Chains A and B, each alone.
Chain A
Amino acid sequence: MNFTRRETMAVSGAALVASVLPIKLMASTTDLISGITGGTEASGDGISLTAPEIAENGNTVPISIDAPGAVAITVLAAGNPTPGVAKFNFGAGSGSQSCTTRIRLAGTQDVIAVAEMADGSFSAAHQTVKVTIGGCGG
Protein backbone atom coordinates (compact mmCIF):
# COMPACT_ATOMS: atom_id res chain seq x y z
CA MET A 1 0.00 0.00 0.00
CA ASN A 2 1.38 3.40 -0.97
CA PHE A 3 0.57 6.42 1.14
CA THR A 4 0.74 9.96 -0.10
CA ARG A 5 1.96 12.55 2.37
CA ARG A 6 -1.61 13.81 2.85
CA GLU A 7 -2.91 10.33 3.69
CA THR A 8 -0.06 9.74 6.09
CA MET A 9 -0.87 12.96 7.91
CA ALA A 10 -4.54 12.03 8.09
CA VAL A 11 -3.79 8.56 9.47
CA SER A 12 -1.33 9.80 12.08
CA GLY A 13 -3.77 12.54 13.07
CA ALA A 14 -6.52 9.98 13.56
CA ALA A 15 -4.15 7.76 15.55
CA LEU A 16 -3.32 10.70 17.81
CA VAL A 17 -7.00 11.42 18.47
CA ALA A 18 -7.64 7.74 19.12
CA SER A 19 -4.76 7.52 21.59
CA VAL A 20 -6.03 10.55 23.51
CA LEU A 21 -9.62 9.41 23.71
CA PRO A 22 -9.66 5.64 24.25
CA ILE A 23 -11.66 5.84 27.46
CA LYS A 24 -14.41 7.98 25.98
CA LEU A 25 -14.77 5.87 22.85
CA MET A 26 -14.86 2.61 24.73
CA ALA A 27 -18.33 1.79 25.98
CA SER A 28 -18.15 0.88 29.63
CA THR A 29 -18.33 -2.78 30.59
CA THR A 30 -21.08 -2.32 33.16
CA ASP A 31 -23.20 -0.28 30.73
CA LEU A 32 -22.96 -3.04 28.14
CA ILE A 33 -23.90 -5.72 30.64
CA SER A 34 -26.94 -3.79 31.86
CA GLY A 35 -27.90 -3.20 28.22
CA ILE A 36 -28.28 -6.97 27.83
CA THR A 37 -29.90 -7.68 31.17
CA GLY A 38 -32.29 -4.74 30.94
CA GLY A 39 -30.98 -3.25 34.20
CA THR A 40 -31.20 -6.45 36.23
CA GLU A 41 -28.18 -7.15 38.42
CA ALA A 42 -25.98 -9.85 36.87
CA SER A 43 -24.22 -12.21 39.24
CA GLY A 44 -20.75 -13.48 38.56
CA ASP A 45 -21.53 -17.12 39.32
CA GLY A 46 -22.30 -19.90 36.91
CA ILE A 47 -20.42 -18.60 33.93
CA SER A 48 -16.81 -18.95 32.92
CA LEU A 49 -15.13 -17.14 30.09
CA THR A 50 -11.79 -18.35 28.83
CA ALA A 51 -9.76 -15.96 26.72
CA PRO A 52 -6.01 -15.44 26.33
CA GLU A 53 -4.43 -12.70 28.44
CA ILE A 54 -2.34 -11.57 25.51
CA ALA A 55 -3.46 -12.03 21.90
CA GLU A 56 -0.74 -11.32 19.39
CA ASN A 57 -3.17 -11.06 16.50
CA GLY A 58 -6.53 -9.42 17.07
CA ASN A 59 -7.94 -11.04 13.94
CA THR A 60 -8.41 -14.43 15.57
CA VAL A 61 -8.70 -14.56 19.33
CA PRO A 62 -9.93 -17.94 20.60
CA ILE A 63 -12.52 -17.72 23.38
CA SER A 64 -14.66 -20.29 25.14
CA ILE A 65 -17.66 -19.77 27.32
CA ASP A 66 -19.25 -22.25 29.66
CA ALA A 67 -22.49 -21.46 31.48
CA PRO A 68 -24.33 -24.53 32.80
CA GLY A 69 -28.07 -23.99 32.75
CA ALA A 70 -28.04 -21.02 30.40
CA VAL A 71 -30.56 -20.62 27.60
CA ALA A 72 -28.57 -17.94 25.80
CA ILE A 73 -25.09 -16.42 25.99
CA THR A 74 -24.23 -13.03 24.53
CA VAL A 75 -20.61 -12.15 23.85
CA LEU A 76 -19.52 -8.51 23.66
CA ALA A 77 -16.24 -6.77 22.99
CA ALA A 78 -16.28 -3.40 24.76
CA GLY A 79 -13.60 -1.76 22.65
CA ASN A 80 -14.68 -2.78 19.16
CA PRO A 81 -16.32 -0.26 16.79
CA THR A 82 -19.51 -2.30 17.25
CA PRO A 83 -19.53 -4.10 20.62
CA GLY A 84 -21.72 -7.05 19.61
CA VAL A 85 -19.86 -10.27 18.81
CA ALA A 86 -22.31 -13.16 18.88
CA LYS A 87 -25.34 -14.58 20.64
CA PHE A 88 -25.60 -18.29 21.28
CA ASN A 89 -29.07 -19.75 21.86
CA PHE A 90 -29.04 -23.27 23.22
CA GLY A 91 -31.83 -25.67 22.30
CA ALA A 92 -33.17 -28.95 23.65
CA GLY A 93 -30.52 -31.00 21.88
CA SER A 94 -27.50 -29.27 23.36
CA GLY A 95 -25.29 -31.41 25.56
CA SER A 96 -23.85 -28.55 27.57
CA GLN A 97 -24.19 -24.80 27.45
CA SER A 98 -20.69 -24.17 26.26
CA CYS A 99 -19.15 -22.98 23.05
CA THR A 100 -15.73 -22.18 21.60
CA THR A 101 -15.15 -19.76 18.75
CA ARG A 102 -12.69 -17.20 17.40
CA ILE A 103 -13.33 -13.49 17.46
CA ARG A 104 -11.85 -10.23 16.21
CA LEU A 105 -10.65 -7.56 18.63
CA ALA A 106 -9.75 -4.04 17.52
CA GLY A 107 -7.37 -3.48 20.43
CA THR A 108 -6.70 -4.18 24.08
CA GLN A 109 -10.10 -4.36 25.75
CA ASP A 110 -12.58 -6.24 27.89
CA VAL A 111 -14.34 -9.28 26.46
CA ILE A 112 -17.70 -9.79 28.14
CA ALA A 113 -20.01 -12.80 28.27
CA VAL A 114 -23.54 -12.49 29.63
CA ALA A 115 -25.58 -15.65 30.18
CA GLU A 116 -29.33 -15.68 30.48
CA MET A 117 -30.34 -18.51 32.78
CA ALA A 118 -33.47 -20.63 32.44
CA ASP A 119 -35.07 -18.87 35.44
CA GLY A 120 -34.62 -15.43 33.86
CA SER A 121 -31.62 -14.35 35.93
CA PHE A 122 -28.36 -13.23 34.39
CA SER A 123 -24.70 -14.04 34.95
CA ALA A 124 -21.84 -12.08 33.54
CA ALA A 125 -18.09 -12.56 33.25
CA HIS A 126 -15.45 -10.41 31.67
CA GLN A 127 -11.76 -10.61 30.97
CA THR A 128 -9.25 -8.12 29.65
CA VAL A 129 -7.36 -9.23 26.56
CA LYS A 130 -4.20 -7.43 25.51
CA VAL A 131 -4.05 -7.17 21.73
CA THR A 132 -0.77 -6.47 19.96
CA ILE A 133 -2.16 -6.05 16.43
CA GLY A 134 -5.81 -4.99 16.10
CA GLY A 135 -8.13 -6.90 13.84
CA CYS A 136 -10.80 -4.61 12.43
CA GLY A 137 -9.04 -3.01 9.47
CA GLY A 138 -9.73 0.63 8.72
Chain B
Amino acid sequence: MAKGVKPRVKVPKTAAAGETITIKTLISHKMETGRRKDGDGNVIPRSIINRFTCAFNGKNVVDVNMEPAISVNPYFQFEATVPEAGEFVFTWYDDDGSVYEKKKSIKIA
Protein backbone atom coordinates (compact mmCIF):
# COMPACT_ATOMS: atom_id res chain seq x y z
CA MET B 1 0.00 0.00 0.00
CA ALA B 2 1.30 3.36 -1.01
CA LYS B 3 2.02 5.73 1.84
CA GLY B 4 -0.10 8.71 2.79
CA VAL B 5 -3.12 7.94 0.65
CA LYS B 6 -6.09 9.94 1.86
CA PRO B 7 -9.34 10.17 -0.09
CA ARG B 8 -11.36 13.35 0.24
CA VAL B 9 -14.86 13.84 -1.16
CA LYS B 10 -17.19 16.81 -1.24
CA VAL B 11 -20.89 15.98 -1.52
CA PRO B 12 -23.76 18.27 -0.44
CA LYS B 13 -25.50 17.03 2.72
CA THR B 14 -28.98 17.48 1.28
CA ALA B 15 -30.57 17.77 -2.14
CA ALA B 16 -34.05 18.05 -3.62
CA ALA B 17 -35.40 14.82 -5.12
CA GLY B 18 -34.21 14.52 -8.70
CA GLU B 19 -31.70 17.31 -8.34
CA THR B 20 -28.36 17.22 -10.11
CA ILE B 21 -25.49 17.78 -7.73
CA THR B 22 -21.79 18.40 -8.27
CA ILE B 23 -19.33 16.08 -6.58
CA LYS B 24 -15.64 16.80 -6.12
CA THR B 25 -13.13 14.12 -5.21
CA LEU B 26 -9.45 14.25 -4.45
CA ILE B 27 -7.14 11.49 -3.31
CA SER B 28 -3.58 12.14 -2.22
CA HIS B 29 -1.36 9.80 -4.18
CA LYS B 30 2.07 10.27 -5.72
CA MET B 31 1.02 8.72 -9.10
CA GLU B 32 4.52 7.57 -10.08
CA THR B 33 4.50 7.34 -13.88
CA GLY B 34 7.19 4.67 -14.28
CA ARG B 35 9.18 6.97 -16.57
CA ARG B 36 11.13 8.93 -13.99
CA LYS B 37 14.62 7.95 -12.86
CA ASP B 38 16.20 8.25 -9.45
CA GLY B 39 19.65 9.78 -8.79
CA ASP B 40 21.42 6.58 -9.86
CA GLY B 41 19.60 6.35 -13.17
CA ASN B 42 17.31 3.50 -12.14
CA VAL B 43 13.74 3.75 -13.33
CA ILE B 44 11.29 4.30 -10.49
CA PRO B 45 8.56 1.66 -10.98
CA ARG B 46 5.06 2.76 -11.93
CA SER B 47 2.66 3.15 -9.05
CA ILE B 48 -0.62 4.86 -9.84
CA ILE B 49 -4.31 4.61 -9.11
CA ASN B 50 -5.67 3.01 -12.27
CA ARG B 51 -9.41 3.14 -11.70
CA PHE B 52 -11.94 5.29 -9.89
CA THR B 53 -15.62 4.57 -9.55
CA CYS B 54 -18.56 6.32 -7.98
CA ALA B 55 -21.90 4.61 -7.35
CA PHE B 56 -25.12 5.86 -5.80
CA ASN B 57 -27.30 3.19 -4.13
CA GLY B 58 -25.56 0.59 -6.28
CA LYS B 59 -26.12 2.52 -9.52
CA ASN B 60 -22.98 3.49 -11.39
CA VAL B 61 -22.43 7.24 -11.71
CA VAL B 62 -19.00 7.35 -13.26
CA ASP B 63 -16.22 4.83 -13.82
CA VAL B 64 -12.83 6.21 -14.84
CA ASN B 65 -9.89 4.23 -16.20
CA MET B 66 -6.73 6.17 -15.50
CA GLU B 67 -3.34 6.15 -17.18
CA PRO B 68 -0.08 7.58 -15.84
CA ALA B 69 -0.93 10.91 -17.51
CA ILE B 70 -3.29 11.77 -14.65
CA SER B 71 -1.65 14.28 -12.30
CA VAL B 72 -0.44 13.73 -8.77
CA ASN B 73 -3.34 13.65 -6.28
CA PRO B 74 -6.03 12.71 -8.83
CA TYR B 75 -8.90 15.17 -8.80
CA PHE B 76 -12.29 14.63 -10.37
CA GLN B 77 -15.36 16.77 -10.55
CA PHE B 78 -18.58 15.39 -12.00
CA GLU B 79 -22.34 15.52 -11.62
CA ALA B 80 -24.85 13.02 -10.29
CA THR B 81 -28.63 12.94 -10.05
CA VAL B 82 -30.18 12.19 -6.68
CA PRO B 83 -33.63 10.59 -7.11
CA GLU B 84 -33.88 9.51 -3.45
CA ALA B 85 -31.93 9.62 -0.21
CA GLY B 86 -29.04 7.22 -0.16
CA GLU B 87 -25.34 6.70 -0.11
CA PHE B 88 -22.55 7.48 -2.52
CA VAL B 89 -19.70 4.97 -2.56
CA PHE B 90 -16.38 6.14 -3.98
CA THR B 91 -13.72 3.57 -4.75
CA TRP B 92 -10.15 3.97 -5.94
CA TYR B 93 -8.07 1.02 -7.16
CA ASP B 94 -4.30 1.17 -6.74
CA ASP B 95 -1.74 -0.56 -8.99
CA ASP B 96 -0.49 -2.53 -5.97
CA GLY B 97 -3.94 -4.04 -5.38
CA SER B 98 -5.05 -1.74 -2.58
CA VAL B 99 -8.59 -0.44 -2.70
CA TYR B 100 -9.51 2.84 -1.02
CA GLU B 101 -13.15 3.45 -0.26
CA LYS B 102 -15.12 6.40 1.00
CA LYS B 103 -18.86 6.68 1.63
CA LYS B 104 -21.07 9.75 1.85
CA SER B 105 -24.77 9.73 2.55
CA ILE B 106 -27.19 12.36 1.29
CA LYS B 107 -30.64 13.33 2.55
CA ILE B 108 -33.61 14.67 0.63
CA ALA B 109 -34.44 18.19 1.77
Contact = CB atoms under 8 A, between A and B. Distances in A.
Interface residues of A, number: 34
Contacts of B36: 136-138
A84 B69 contact: yes
A106 to B, nearest CB: 9
Interface of B: 20-21, 33, 35-37, 39, 55-57, 59-72, 74-81
Interface of A: 1, 59-61, 64, 77, 80-82, 84-96, 98-105, 135-138
B62 A94 contact: yes
The 6 closest A-B pairs by CB, nearest first: A91-B60, A137-B36, A95-B20, A95-B79, A100-B77, A93-B61
B62 A91 contact: yes
B17 to A, nearest CB: 13
A99 B61 contact: no
7 contacts: A82-B68, A93-B81, A95-B21, A95-B78, A100-B77, A101-B74, A103-B71
Contact of A103 (B57, B63, B64, B69): B69
Contacts of A98: 78-79
Contact of A89 (B63, B72, B81): B63
A100 B75 CA distance: 8
Contacts of A95: 20-21, 78-81
A25 to B, nearest CB: 14
Nearest to A135: B71
B70 A99 contact: no
A100 B76 contact: yes
A89 B69 contact: no
B39 A91 contact: no
Most chain A beta carbons < 10 A, residue from B20, B35, B62, B81: B62
Contact of B78 (A84, A92, A100, A135): A100
Contacts of A84: 67, 69
A94 B71 CA distance: 23
Given A87-B65, A101-B75, A94 B33 contact: no
